[in-house]
Amino acid sequence: MFARWASPTCSSRRSDRLRRADDADDPPFADWLRQHGQTPRIVDRFWGLVLVSALNETPDRVGLRYARKVFVDAFLTHPRGFEVEVPRVPLGRLYGQELTDWLANHGVELRLLHAGRQFMVENGRISRLDMRLGPNMEAEWYISAVPFDRLLDLLPAETIDTDPYFANLRKLETSPITSVHAWFDRPATALPHVVVIDGISQWVFNRGEVNPGEHYLQVVVSAARQLRGLGREEVERRVVEELRCLFPPLASAQLLRAKVVTEHAATFSAVPGVDRWRPVQASPIANLFLAGDWTRTGWPATMEGAVRSGYLAAEAVLTKYGRPQRLLQPDLQ
């Protein structure tokens, strides 16, 4: 697919201009596509197919900067840039007991299921974090790794209203993701996953026979605004109907059960100029630092961006502490 795009549809000169575009210039990506002769069919079946999965946003809403980053980093910068690492062990083990044991052995105390209520700010510093239940918490340094709307709930209103650093967070937009989980009485396909074009579904992941006689499919719909207002039962009905049309074995299969899960604010939207509203990790509050893919990482809303934000927040703390250190891992060259 990439070879077809790179040759007749978009010349090497055009992909080079995509590579060299000015970072400060972030026009709508849809404008760039029209200027370079991309037809609606090509946009739907190539550009949009890649971007909606990578950015959780449609080409008509994203800016050139992060659309360019997806294609340049994944296809043009390094021959292995497109590869995705898959854990060899279940995530429950990877992020479960082994991780908590490692943290404990390094002097980290974890307090799970402890919800914060509000930061108390005095003289430009956080004096404590008031908890919803249990004793309040006091620390020398605070790193917040919650979504930006939750951070706004934690901060006093006067702090937000008087500082553009925090007030600009209200200008960030979000994009939803819907997942439909369906269990049938027979397998749908031997393929591990399927890309759906011109359908409601976008990606179908074949999870196999999870229990005897139960064959599990997971359907992912990114930038799922078209499903708003339909209700879970209607979303389930439409997706299951589409699965039966796509996979002949399911035409007469019994749907054992299904579940629809929608994260309405799954990611921030990489709209044109979004970096104007994304904050750096060191906040105007002297001992508060921010982590999250929505902070200014140089990356869009991805897991890699979230990891980068953690490194950058740690670097900011060390700098304030007087022990500056480079922690961010270098990009592929």
Please give the mean pLDDT across all residues of the chain: 90
CATH superfamily membership of 115-172+272-321: FAD/NAD(P)-binding domain (3.50.50.60)
- Give residue 37's region: left, alpha or beta (phi > 0; psi -120 to 50): left
pLDDT digits (tens, 9 = 90+) for 290-324: 999 999 999 999 989 999 999 999 999 999 999 99
> Average pLDDT of 78-100?
85
* Distance separating alpha carbons of residues 147 and 306, to the nearest angstrom: 11
Q: Cβ distance 324 to 314 under 8 Å?
A: no
Residue 35 has pLDDT above 50, yes or no: yes
- Using CB atoms within 10 Å of the CB of residue 72, give its burial: 0 to 12 exposed, 13 to 18 middle, 19+ buried: middle
* Distance separating alpha carbons of residues 273 and 196, to the nearest angstrom: 30
Amino acid at 93: R
Distances (CA, A) of 190 to 157, 179, 208: 54, 21, 9
pLDDT digits (tens, 9 = 90+) for 98-113: 899 999 999 999 888 8
> Is 174-268 a domain of CATH 3.90.660.10?
yes
pLDDT digits (tens, 9 = 90+) for 252-295: 999 999 999 999 999 999 999 999 999 999 999 999 999 999 99
* Distance separating alpha carbons of residues 269 and 65, to the nearest angstrom: 13
In three-state secondary structure terms, 259 is strand
Q: Cβ distance 201 to 243 under 8 Å?
A: yes
Q: How many CB atoms lie within 10 A of CB 313?
A: 24
Cα angle vertex 83, ends 79, 84, to 5°?
165
Q: Where are the domains of the chain?
A: 2-76, 115-172+272-321, 174-268
* Distance separating alpha carbons of residues 257 and 182, to the nearest angstrom: 6
Q: Cβ distance 220 to 205 under 8 Å?
A: yes
- Residue 149 gets which letter from DSSP? H
Buried (b) or exposed (e) across 109-144, using 16+ Cβ within 10 A? eeeeeeebeebebeeeebebbeeeeeeeeeeeebbb
Distances (CA, A) of 91 to 97, 173, 209, 307: 11, 29, 19, 16
Residue 15 has pLDDT above 60, yes or no: no
CA-CA-CA-CA torsion for 168, 176, 145, 122, nearest 10 degrees? 40
Q: Cβ distance 292 to 145 under 8 Å?
A: yes
